[in-house]
Amino acid sequence: MKTTNKKEQQVRLPELTEKLIKKDKQYASMSKRFQILYWIFLPVFLIIIIVEIINGIPLKDIIGNVFFLLAILNSALLFRFYYKAYNTVDYSQPTLLMLKKAVARYQPLQLRTLWTLLGIGFVDLGLVFNSSLGFDLIRVQMAFLALVVVSMGIGLVIWWVSYKPLRDAARAMIREIEGE
């Protein structure tokens, strides 16, 4: 087990905190941009659905579009939550608490990720019900599943490169503090 003295720990803590602040600001900024985008898409898509209802498209297609609308709403709310979570991080908390919250924030799979799965489910249901797309259901499901898996893989690679080092550094510092 590697031991570090308080001076080394104090030098590393400001560097880690600075990196956490930078990443939190980047994530909050990205979440805000996506949130705005989804809030713009929401009324536009609602208008499209209303026009399609007036034009008498089949009920199945309307149901599919409502599921797409729910996916957009879910995404807008999810990015709103992430924006608030990352924009309001309190770095003045006790060091150990701040580090533990940073570790929790930068876990790749979290309970709140289930809301993302709900949005993915809404998109999938939208694809299933929307026959106006003209695709074979089995092919659509296979392609959609492949797209979700590839997207998750890309997300994990991004996490591995950008966020895992921060989480690991915070974990190591927690072990050092609790080990004293």
17-54 pLDDT tens trace? 999 999 999 999 999 999 999 999 999 999 999 999 99
- Give the global pTM: 0.84
Note whether 70 and 145 are within 8 A (CB).
Answer: no
Closest C-alpha to 44, from 52, 54, 56: 52
Contacts 24+ apart (CB under 8 A), 87-91: 87/24, 87/25, 87/28, 87/32, 89/20, 89/21, 89/24, 91/17, 91/20, 91/21
Confidence of residue 133 (pLDDT cuts 50, 70, 90): low
| 146 found inside a domain | yes
- Domain count within the chain: 1
Output the average pLDDT for the chain: 89
pLDDT surpasses 80 at 180: no
Distance of CA 66 to the CA centre of its chain: 22
Domain extent, residue 68, equals 6-179
| 75 found inside a domain | yes
Q: Give the CA dihedral 130, 134, 136, 139, nearest 10 degrees.
A: -90
| 41 found inside a domain | yes
| 1 found inside a domain | no
Q: What is the rounded CA–CA span in Å between residue 148 and residue 4?
A: 43
Q: How far is CA 145 from CA 87, 120, 126, 173, in A?
A: 32, 10, 14, 39
Q: Which amino acid is at 59?
A: L
Determine which helix (DSSP H) or strand (DSSP E) holds 116, and give its type and residue range: helix 114-129
| 72 found inside a domain | yes
| 73 found inside a domain | yes
Note whether 123 and 71 are within 8 A (CB).
Answer: yes
